[in-house]
Amino acid sequence: MPAPAQLRDSTQIVLPRETLEGLETRLDEEFTVTVVSEDDDRRRIIGSPVEIKDVSEFLARRGIAVQ
């Protein structure tokens, strides 16, 4: 059985707010994800493992590292 942390990591990405500035609308339009404010400084992108993988690749093509 997978560890909870592994499942959580495959269904979300947490990034600084300024990293996603200008991209939130595009993420909503191109992917089936939800972008929520974690706090004033962070945004959480939540979606299925397949969508999160695609979002990670999208962000990487724009020079945004996702771990």
* 29 lies in some domain: yes
CA-nearest of 57, 59, 36, 32 to 47 is 32
> Is 18 inside a domain boundary?
yes
**Could you tell me the pTM of the whole model?**
0.82
Query: Domain for residue 66, yes or no?
Result: no
Over the chain (67 residues), the average pLDDT of each successive run of 10 is: 60 92 91 90 93 95 88
Q: Does residue 67 form part of some domain?
A: no
User: Are the C-beta atoms of residues 33 and 51 closer than 8 Å to each other?
Assistant: yes
CATH code of the domain covering residue 41:
3.30.1370
Range of the domain at 41: 4-61
pLDDT at 33: 95
Total tally of structural domains belonging to the chain: 1
